[in-house]
Amino acid sequence: MKTVKVSVVTPDGPVYDSDVEMVSAKAASGELGILPGHIPMVAPLEISAVRLKKGSGTDFIAVSGGLLEVRPDQVTILAQSAEVADEIDVDRAVKAKERAEQRLNDNKKENIDNVRAELALRRAINRINVANKK
C-alpha cells in the first residue's frame, strides 16, 4: 500500500509524524481527501478534525484551523494548535465550551469579543468531538 508522510506542526513543536494511506481534512473550500502522489497545493483549514488512515485504523487530530501543504510525498499541516485525540483533555474542553457559551450569552451585542468567544466555542466543540472518536 502506498503511503505519504504527514507532519502536523504547531508553534509548540511537532504534534504528529507518520506515514499514512490517506489524509482527510476540512478546507475552507470543502472536504479534501489526499492520497499519495497528490498534486501540490496549499489550502486553509477549518477548525476541524483531520483523519489519517493507516493500515489497521484511523488517527484523529483536532486542528484549530491552519494551513495544509501538499507535496507528492509529504503533507504538512501548520496550525496554531493541534492535538491528537488521545491527548485531548475533555474536562478542559468542556469547561472552555461552557465559558465560551457563557460569554456569548452575556454579550448579545455584536462585538469583537463575540467573535473570539465563537472561535473558542468551535475549538472546544471540535476537541470534544475528536476525543470521542479515538
Footprint of ligand ATP (CB under 6 A): 12, 64, 81, 83, 87-89, 92-93, 96, 120, 123, 127
Cell numbers for 85 = 485525540
- Measured from the CB atom, is 52 or 126 closer to ligand ATP? 126
Closer residue to ligand ATP, CB minimum distance, 36 or 66: 66
DSSP H stretches of helix in 8-111: 90-106
Residue pair 80/66 in contact (Cβ under 8 Å)? The answer is yes
CA-angle at 85, arms to 82 and 89, nearest 5°: 85
Closest CB 115 distance from ligand ATP, rounded Å: 14
Instruction: Specify which residues 33 forms β-bridges with.
Output: 24
The nearest distance, CB 3 to ligand ATP, in angstroms, is: 26
Q: How far apart are CA 35 and CA 80, in angstroms?
A: 24
Q: How many CB atoms lie within 10 A of CB 70?
A: 21
Distance in Å, CB of 88 to ligand ATP, minimum = 4
Least distance from ligand ATP to the Cβ atom of residue 127, Å: 5
* Comparison of 73 and 87: residue with beta carbon closer to ligand ATP: 87
Q: Which is nearer to ligand ATP, 32 or 120 (CB)?
A: 120
